[in-house]
Amino acid sequence: MLQHIQQFTPAIDNTVRNFIPSNALVSAKVIEKTLGREKALQWLNEQESRFPETAKTLQWCKAMLENRASSAGTSPGAKDAGMRILEALARLGLAEK
């Protein structure tokens, strides 16, 4: 299953995204498990360069990956549904399984 997640390629075609930005955390976790944290952070930085309009969400993903959720700086009202779900999973300890 990790390989299937890792094969996904985010893209924007005619202003329509094929991804939810907060799902980058899921991809980063897969990369961390398979290639290490540095590669995961490098991938998030590349995504931020490719999709600057999602920079705040990708910074949140980096903070979550590094277990710095409190320093993510995203107000509750600015979080998409994916962010709220991933935070809840992390609080329950399910994000590491």
Average pLDDT over residues 64-91: 77
Please tell me the predicted confidence (pLDDT) of residue 87.
87
What pLDDT is stored for residue 70 in this prediction?
57
pLDDT above 70 for 95: no
- Interatomic CA distance for residues 2 and 14, integer angstroms: 29
- The confidence score (pLDDT) of residue 47 equals 92
Q: Are 19 and 27 within 8 A, CB to CB?
A: no
Q: What is the rounded distance in angstroms from the CA atom of residue 72 to the CA atom of residue 20? A: 18
Whole-angstrom Cα distance, residue 29 to residue 95? Answer: 9
Chain segment 7-54, per-residue pLDDT in tens:
666 666 655 555 678 888 989 999 999 999 999 999 999 999 988 988
